[in-house]
Structure 1
Amino acid sequence: MQTGQLTTDQLAPRPERLRRALNTPLLTLYGLGVTVGAGIYVLVGATAAQAGPFAPVSFLLAAVVVAFTAFSYAELSTRHPVSAGEAAYVEAGFGAGWLATLVGLAVALSGMVSAAAVAIGAAGYLHDLTLVPQEVLTVLVVGIMGLIALWGIAQSVTVAAIITVIEISGLILVILWGFFVAPPQGFELAEMLPPLQGPHWIGIGAASLLAFFAFVGFEDMANVAEEVKDPAHTLPRAILWTLALAAILYVATTAAVLVAVPIETLATSSAPLLLVFDSASGRMQQVFAVVAIVATVNGVLIQMIMASRVLYGLADRQHLPAVLAMVSRRTQTPAVATVAVCLITVLLALALPIEALAERTAQIVLFVFVLVNAALLRLKQAGDPGGDFFRVPRLVPVLGVLTSVLLWGTSFL
């Protein structure tokens, strides 16, 4: 595909619409791809440092907290199955276009910052293998992922889904190797069940706040809603499947690592999952390193898909310049928005202190969670409009607001 030769007759701001091509399996794999990734590859050691042998419980508690907002997204995404989902929800709930634009831009920025940070990480791994300058590799990673995103939603999500399967296979390999192959040097499973009372719950709670960030990403599924088949049924199923499968993978992976690796070594490692293979051959360690590279590249692709759909959705509702709503007639993807996301991501990766920006990404997401849950509360107070969409009790967004505010406030401490 010659993306550099897109002409105005191939692009159109309104006549061409995004193609509904995503079913429940593809959307679930998309959700897993953006949720399961660098977080679990680096957070196991940090959570173990705070929660000790009870780190799996911390991931489980984080899943429960995230579940409230996930259910809110399930209703909102079927009430308003459009791109730039969070912006549309906030606009519907508060009737403030400026606030919707702010939320949409915050979501898009979080995606581009995340993609830039992950691209730098992927380039670092590749530099160790190829010795090509890291800046060149960063641009190549972003450029190649941008071309895949331009290719078409079905094709790009299929590529992301294949990579996600590889990525999840790597976690399954960790689980199997840690439980059944690696010599046990850590805790037994029975030691990972915490007593109902005791000071250990302080460490479990602190680790849960850290583990929460490993679940951030499921909300990006709302931003491809215009490309989902039968969104009223597909979106809730895929959101809930994503959350459930991610929780299972996180708990099992953490437990396997705690069984195989001494806690003292685990708590200080920046690559904790690789420690499981210390007793394995060099080839096995190389295979897992390649899987880690693939996992990071997948994060770049999915975050860029999400950010481009947010910019497209904002422009389509006249909150941003109309040029960003142009859709390629050939691929039916938001071509201008995708190119813009690629360029901004490259600039962020090469010119700005990505580490500091990435630390703020989670705070942006929690702020958006608060507004999204509050928007659903306002919509419910206005009455049920009828129609075929997923519904949750009013208590769900109330708890979503409370838990998000708590986590958002704690992140500043």
Structure 2
Amino acid sequence: MTGSVTNMERPGQKLGLLMCIALVMGNMIGSGVFLLPAALAPLGWNAVIGWGVTIGGTLCLALVLARLARLLPGGTGPFTYAAEAFGPGVGFIVAWSFWISCWTANAALAVAATSNLSIIFPGLADEGQTPALIAIGFIWLFTAINLLGVRKAGGAQVLTWALKLLPLLGAVVVAVWVLGSGSVTPPALANAAPVSLGNIGSAATLTLFALLGFESALAVGDRVKDPEKTVPRATMIGAVATGIIYLLSCTTVTMLLPVETVQASNAPYATFFATLVSPAAGQLVALFAAIAALGALNGFVLLVGEIPRDMAQKRQLPSLMARENRFGAPLWSLLLASSLATLVVYANYSRGLAGLFNFMVLVTTSTAIIFYMAAALAALKFERQRRIAASPRFAALTLTGFIYSCWAFYGAGIEASLWSLAMTATGLPIYFAMRRSTPARCEEAPIA
């Protein structure tokens, strides 16, 4: 851990409000919204309702996490909140599951970037090792950027955040234009699924992946300037802004193209622009969608390094995970997480881009939900203890967020849920081994 305290306290290595908002929105606006129309199109109006349910549930959870960030500023949120409420053992399991969701998300994002580039380079759509190797190359490119320090990663996040907003907002502008001119009539949803609770649940689970990342700022709280104010603001601003953009943009794509066209597309936004504007516009949007996935990849690479580093400093993981390079970056944590993401991509390349992406979406979503459930329960406990200002409205919103999390976990399906639980359970031997080696220190480790 040589030099870790100095690097943590160095002002130049801290994230401000703009970078935190870019981290939140950049991690939320990744691959999901650009690829999900293909899965949502057959659900028709269920998808619109599902977006509403997901955005509402996510905002409830964002409010809960923002309140927790004010109570417990700094530290790593996935560990801090659960450990403060339920002890270091629960904190470890929650942080471990959240860390898994981050590096599996990295695998999905790298695949998504390659999938969008297949519109420009059709050879990438073929099954085989080449697309997998390109995706792996993206993982290690952004690992190298993050190894240069958190400020370098934050600067890259601001740049990609601005670029990825263009196709999302552009889709809404195109929709207003074509509907206003009368040049396009929305196709009838003849082949879409009827509205039902089950179909809405499927849509809500799929859309949750696109909204993962609203917790990103609080996951790196000790790397933020004035975290007590900055983290809650960034969390709420990012979640609200992204939710509104998603609802308008994704609904536009699914409603203005035939269901069969969207469902068969590797890059639905590119298909939307190619059909309604021009083929050249479609290729440009495919490039921007790839940039969006890469921007989110950059943000999640930052998270997968920070979480093990913080846990190692609390003696929950071996001290090797806390070692930093001369730029203050957690060297071995980043290398481990990127190696695991690489193995996932390469071991599953035979599924093809679409199959691999869908598999990683479900595993990532169901694993991340564990943190959301724990945070909601922690907030309810703190409110009962009067550590958080008690109010019936906040309690109702917290309970709503918890119920939504449970529903989304169930909606992910039995296979993904079992995968997430099994992967989370792999952390138990590590926790008990660390506890046996330094029992007193594990119990007395600082929480925030």
Report the TM-score range of the alignment, normalised by the length of the smaller protein.
Answer: 0.7 to 0.9
Structure 1 match to 2:98? 107
Task: Give the direction of change, closer, same or farther, for the CA distance of 1:122–1:259 in structure 2 (3 Å limit).
Answer: closer
Match of 2:76 among 80, 84, 94: 84
Give runs of aligned pairs for residues 282-293 of structure 1, distance below 5 A. 282-293=279-290
Tell me, what secondary structure is at the counterpart of 1:232?
Answer: helix
Tell me, what secondary structure is at the counterpart of 1:333?
Answer: coil
Alpha-carbon displacement from aligned partner over 1:190-226 (angstroms, at most 9, x marks no partner) = x9xxxxxxx8363445423332222111122211211
Q: C-alpha separation between the residues in 2 aligned to 1:411 and 1:164?
A: 28
Q: C-alpha separation between the residues in 2 aligned to 1:216 and 1:378?
A: 24
TM-score, normalised on structure 2? 0.78
TM superposition outliers: structure 1 runs of 4+ over 6 Å: none
1:122 equivalenced with 2:113 (yes/no):
yes
Structure 2 match to 1:68? 60
Q: C-alpha separation between the residues in 1 aligned to 2:132 and 2:36?
A: 26
Q: C-alpha separation between the residues in 2 aligned to 1:303 and 1:204?
A: 28
Q: C-alpha separation between the residues in 1 aligned to 2:116 and 2:261?
A: 22
Match of 1:345 among 341, 350, 353: 341
- Amino acid of the structure 2 residue aligned with 1:185: T
Contact 2:269–2:286 under 8 Å retained in 1: no
Give runs of aligned pairs for residues 90-239 of structure 1, distance below 5 A. 90-95=82-87, 97-126=88-117, 129=121, 133-181=130-178, 183-186=183-186, 200=195, 202=197, 203-204=199-200, 206-239=202-235
1:47 equivalenced with 2:71 (yes/no):
no
Alpha-carbon displacement from aligned partner over 1:100-148 (angstroms, at most 9, x marks no partner) = 2221111111111110222233345557639693344233212210111
Q: C-alpha separation between the residues in 2 aligned to 1:273 and 1:168?
A: 12
Structure 2 match to 1:324? 321
Q: C-alpha separation between the residues in 2 aligned to 1:377 and 1:213?
A: 25
Give 1:84 deviation, angstroms.
2.8
Alpha-carbon displacement from aligned partner over 1:18-47 (angstroms, at most 9, x marks no partner) = 656222222111111111121111222433
Task: Give the direction of change, closer, same or farther, for the CA distance of 1:211–1:227 in structure 2 (3 Å limit).
Answer: same
Q: When the two structures are aligned, how many residues end up with a matched partner?
A: 388
Give 1:244 deviation, angstroms.
1.0
Q: C-alpha separation between the residues in 2 aligned to 1:175 and 1:323?
A: 48
Contact 1:225–1:231 under 8 Å retained in 2: yes
- Identity of matched residues, %: 20
Match of 1:371 among 332, 355, 374: 374
Query: Structure 1 stretch 146-155 or stretch 377-386: which is displaced more?
Result: 377-386
Alpha-carbon displacement from aligned partner over 1:366-402 (angstroms, at most 9, x marks no partner) = 122111211222223233289xxxxx83333222222
Task: Give the direction of change, closer, same or farther, for the CA distance of 1:268–1:131 in structure 2 (3 Å limit).
Answer: closer
Structure 1 match to 2:395? 394
TM-score, normalised on structure 1? 0.84
Give 1:352 deviation, angstroms.
4.9
Contact 1:92–1:379 under 8 Å retained in 2: no
> What is the Cα-based RMSD across aligned positions, in Å?
2.8
Give 1:152 deviation, angstroms.
1.9
Alpha-carbon displacement from aligned partner over 1:255-297 (angstroms, at most 9, x marks no partner) = 4324532345335544322232214333222211111211121
Query: Structure 1 stretch 273-282 or stretch 305-314: which is displaced more?
Result: 273-282
Q: C-alpha separation between the residues in 1 aligned to 2:370 and 2:47?
A: 26
Structure 2 match to 1:246? 242
Tell me, what secondary structure is at the counterpart of 1:214?
Answer: helix
Structure 1 match to 2:424? none
Contact 1:84–1:311 under 8 Å retained in 2: no
Structure 2 match to 1:22? 15
Give 1:13 deviation, angstroms.
4.6
Tell me, what secondary structure is at the counterpart of 1:151?
Answer: coil
Uncovered stretches (5+) of structure 1, i.e. residues with no partner: 1-7, 192-198, 387-391
Match of 2:386 among 383, 386, 394: 383
Alpha-carbon displacement from aligned partner over 1:292-323 (angstroms, at most 9, x marks no partner) = 21112122211111111111111111100112
